[in-house]
Amino acid sequence: MTNPNPNKNKNRPDYTPPTIPGNLSAFASTSMSQINLSWTQSTDNVGVQDYLIERCTGASCTNFAQIAVTSSTSYQDTTVSAGVTYRYQVRARDGSGNLSSYSAIAQATATANAPASPSSLYEGFGASTIGGQGQTVYTVTNRNPIGPGSLYDAVQVSNRNIVFHSTLSGTIPLTSKLKIRGSNITIDGLTAASPGITLANWGIQMDSSDPVHDVIIRGIRVRLESAPNDEASDNDCIGISYGTNIYNIVVDHCSLSGSPDEVVGLAVDIHDMTFSWNIFGGSQGGTLLGGGFTKNFLAHVRAKRLSIHHNLFISATDRNPWAVWGSPNDFSDSSVAPEITADVRNNFILVQNGGWGTKSSHGAKINSVNNYYATTPGGNINNALFACDASLPNPSSNAAVCAVPRGADGKAYVNGNVTATAPAVSIQAWNTEASPFPAPTVTTTDAVTAAQQVYDTAGVRPLDSKDTSLFVYIVRP
């Protein structure tokens, strides 16, 4: 029978609470006094409006008090003290004011806010980098592209610990590459006011015209989506090239995307570097779900002794990362790396639609250890890892990756990697070595734990709109 009054229940009050937020986790940041929270989304018959976050102090505390309200499913608590344990609980609220029950409790102990440039903070081949530790402090006081008080001015000479004024944040619209012209330098973006510092239009460069060493870059966003799409400009987010006298470099907790060529480009004899806890968000020329040819991280032409650990690789169809000893454009180059090119471990790597993950070719030697490989929609997990070695059963199974001729074979020690879905051929099939290539110790967990940590803490926090758009297509393991 037809309802004679279809509007009868329209204005009835809503008393249905949202579902309980699930999987609450709390992780202490590895580089600052901050605890990062995340949880799974609640549902509601009308719609969830926001989440109320409560905290108490102490490992067995029960006197929770509200500290924040957010509409997202993550939160960065920066009002913590080093060495102190905090407990958290979260509940959801809908537009009618109905509150869910509390989530399960999660707790974490805050770490010390790291000093600007301690060599003990970093691991891998760049661990001995001293940066600007003990050097003159230069405070960036404005967002001007050049001139006194600018970041550009700060990097023109050696021996500087570069910090940002405690009230300064926002975008620096560079008018040329940020060329680092000195050694013993730290650029410490973590000292800026929230939400941090973003470089636009041009990236950061180090090259043989001003050989540099002992440089630390941390807590900086580089967004080049608005830069001219011209590969010939070599406008990488981070570009380091040309010289055995370019070494001891650390790039840590940075968010990088939108370059005309690869996001990170390393070339010609540079060595001893660490890239840790970064988000590599793809170059220009494609979309998150595939299409175009987008690139994240290329190390080639005798770049060596690189540690690439605890990073998120996403939104690129290639170079996640790609290690090449010779030239990728010269198939007659049969040279072989005398030692390791890159130690790649505990990264979270997303394979795009029509794209590939990690590659070793043209005489390179890599360790691929305890990385977590997943896909964005349309991605093929079978393309997670390639070592282009003629001794493997199908060395040219993907002609675009392992082109023949291709110079010398690429070598890979493969162990402990995990895929979110089962590939047709085990990722271990790409192993060419009985034991790993020698590399400095990096604190290494199983692949799933590492991926969870990367998801929760990599890049610059809080996430900006670009990183947030990338995370939409990531499922936390």
String of DSSP letters for 88-109: EEEEEEETT--BPPPPPPEEEE
395 pLDDT above the threshold of 50: no
Question: What pLDDT is attached to residue 396?
Answer: 41
Contact between 272 and 298 (Cβ < 8 Å): no
The Cα angle at residue 170 between residues 164 and 175, in degrees rounded to 5: 90
Contact between 165 and 189 (Cβ < 8 Å): no
**119-471: CATH class:** mainly beta
Residue-level length of the chain: 477
Per the listing, tokens 């619209």 go with 173
| Arithmetic mean of pLDDT, 335-360 | 94
pLDDT confidence bin for 330, thresholds 50/70/90 = low
| Arithmetic mean of pLDDT, 94-105 | 94
The residues, any chain, with a CB within 8 Å of residue 46's CB and separated by 6 or more, are: 14, 16, 94, 95, 96
Question: What pLDDT is attached to residue 252?
Answer: 96
Contact between 288 and 315 (Cβ < 8 Å): yes
Q: Would you call 372 exposed, middle or buried from its count of C-beta atoms within 10 A (0-12, 13-18, 19+)?
A: buried
Cα separation, 397 vs 69, whole angstroms: 51
pLDDT above 90 coverage of the chain, percent: 64
pLDDT confidence bin for 287, thresholds 50/70/90 = low
| Arithmetic mean of pLDDT, 158-168 | 92
pLDDT confidence bin for 350, thresholds 50/70/90 = very high
Closest CA to 461 of 277, 288, 200: 277
pLDDT confidence bin for 247, thresholds 50/70/90 = very high
Question: What pLDDT is attached to residue 6?
Answer: 46
Cα separation, 2 vs 6, whole angstroms: 9
Cα separation, 355 vs 80, whole angstroms: 41
Question: What pLDDT is attached to residue 31?
Answer: 46
Question: What pLDDT is attached to residue 408?
Answer: 80
- Residue pLDDT, tens place only, 1-43: 444 554 444 567 888 999 999 988 887 764 456 787 888 889 9
The Cα angle at residue 369 between residues 366 and 375, in degrees rounded to 5: 100
Mean per-residue pLDDT over the chain, rounded: 88
Q: Would you call 173 exposed, middle or buried from its count of C-beta atoms within 10 A (0-12, 13-18, 19+)?
A: middle
Q: Would you call 72 exposed, middle or buried from its count of C-beta atoms within 10 A (0-12, 13-18, 19+)?
A: middle
pLDDT confidence bin for 243, thresholds 50/70/90 = confident
Quick one: CATH architecture of 22-109?
A: Sandwich (2.60)
For the record, the structure tokens of 380 come out as: 């093929």
The residues that bridge with 275 in the sheet, in sequence order, are 251, 308
User: Would the pTM of this model clear 0.85, i.e. be above it?
Assistant: no
Closest CA to 218 of 294, 126, 99, 345: 126
Question: What pLDDT is attached to residue 210?
Answer: 86
Domain positions in the chain are: 22-109, 119-471
pLDDT confidence bin for 385, thresholds 50/70/90 = very high
| Arithmetic mean of pLDDT, 332-339 | 86
pLDDT confidence bin for 400, thresholds 50/70/90 = low
For the record, the structure tokens of 364 come out as: 């390179």
